[in-house]
Amino acid sequence: MSAAADPTRSFIVGCPRSGTTLLQSLLAAHPRIVSFPESSFFARTIGNSNSRMFGRSLRGVNGMRRRLRESLGIASSGSRRSVRQFLQEIGREDLICKLPQSRRRIKPQTQAFLAILDQLAADAGAQVWVEKSPEHLHYIQEIERFAPDARFLHLVRSGPDVVASLYDVAKRYPDMHWGRFYTDIDQCIERWGVCVRTTRECLARPNHLLVRYESLVAETEQTVRDICSFLGVEFVEDMIANREDAVSSLVTKKESWKSGVRGQIVDANASKFQKLFNESEQRHIVERIESFGELPQAAPLTSR
């Protein structure tokens, strides 16, 4: 990549526990792709993430205030702090100087964040940067407003497996954010359904690519080849072999629930559904998941 070339900006999005970290680690192993720990930048800057994640409208006085803040382009109060934390996690506090003096405006905050990721790519000699925060699925409209050339990788996994994984991680980490949302089976189903519906609405656009988790695990090389083609880089054989080496730069110490991303690529969670739920719960989950319709279908890469 020449010094003057702009990096390809790309985002991995999807429902949590769908394999987004696995996909990220595969791409980060490419010598011309750079990636980072989750920033959750747009969720923290624009706010209202809980309502967006579950497809709920903002109500009452607080809802009116939040809608007004968004319409005026005012950033959430935690935006600047989240960028500082992100830069500290990756050891690049020197880039804090890129943050604007205007602390409460969404546009300058976002422009600064994108410029920081562009700089990280340039410093790494990378042609592509990959930002992976699953909840950014619900901020695609805002991301495309500020980065109209951005590309999106939508990871979709079987509903029963995602519901089981969400429910399981909530039981194992009840005091963290998982426990706030996913100890209820219907909450897990709703989260998956909203994500699938949002992905389905995006796939007609050429800058969006569907990646099925099951294909990523069973046909890893071909799936990664297709993704590389979509991102405009050549597939590199060592990407799969070197994937584990990339994990350490993507997963922070506090993210112990991501430990399963290390090791051989296998569908390790496929049996959780039968282990965690009784027959009645399994029927309920399957019936509700079927109510969301068929899983999204990918458009051929040749049509993009």
Alpha carbon distance 39, 85 (integer Å):
9
If pLDDT is split at 50, 70 and 90, which confidence band does 5 have?
confident
Does residue 49 or residue 115 have the better pLDDT?
115
For residues 234, 235, 237 and 241, what is the CA-based torsion angle, rounded to 10 degrees? 120
Structural domains of the chain, ranges and CATH numbers in brackets: 8-37+126-303 (3.40.50.300)
Task: Give the model's pLDDT for residue 303.
Answer: 46
Residue 270 has pLDDT above 70, yes or no: no
For residues 164, 167, 170 and 172, what is the CA-based torsion angle, rounded to 10 degrees? -50
DSSP designation for 92: -
Alpha carbon distance 236, 123 (integer Å):
21
Residue 107 has pLDDT above 70, yes or no: yes
Residue 261 has pLDDT above 90, yes or no: no
- Sign, CA dihedral 287-184-18-208, equals positive
Does residue 71 or residue 291 have the better pLDDT?
291
Q: What angle do CA 294, 261, 140 make, to 5 degrees?
A: 50
> Span 109-138, mean pLDDT?
96
Mean per-residue pLDDT of the chain? 89
Task: Give the model's pLDDT for residue 304.
Answer: 52
- Could you tell me the CA-to-CA distances from 120 to 37, 70, 95, 238, 270 in Å, in that order? 13, 28, 9, 22, 36
- Tens digit of each residue's pLDDT (9 = 90 or more) over 192-203: 999 999 999 999
For the chain, give the percent of residues with pLDDT over 70: 89
Does residue 63 or residue 31 have the better pLDDT?
31
Tell the residue number behind the tokens 């769908």, with chain if given. 18
| 30 within 8 A of 124, measured Cβ to Cβ | no
| 102 within 8 A of 108, measured Cβ to Cβ | yes
Residues 6+ away with beta carbon under 8 Å from 243: 25, 26, 28, 29, 265
Task: Give the model's pLDDT for residue 3.
Answer: 45
Task: Give the model's pLDDT for residue 260.
Answer: 81
Token pair belonging to 183: 């100890």
Alpha carbon distance 295, 164 (integer Å):
17
Task: Give the model's pLDDT for residue 150.
Answer: 98
Residues 6+ away with beta carbon under 8 Å from 59: none
Q: What angle do CA 300, 138, 193 make, to 5 degrees?
A: 75
Task: Annotate 201-267 with three-state secondary structure.
Answer: HHCCCCCEEEEEHHHHHHCHHHHHHHHHHHHCCCCCCHHHHCHHHHHCCCCCCCCHHHHHHCCCCCC
- Tens digit of each residue's pLDDT (9 = 90 or more) over 154-212: 999 999 999 999 999 999 999 999 999 999 999 999 999 999 999 999 999 999 999 99
> Span 119-135, mean pLDDT?
97
Task: Give the model's pLDDT for residue 62.
Answer: 64
Residue 302 has pLDDT above 90, yes or no: no
What is the pTM (predicted TM-score) of this model? 0.91
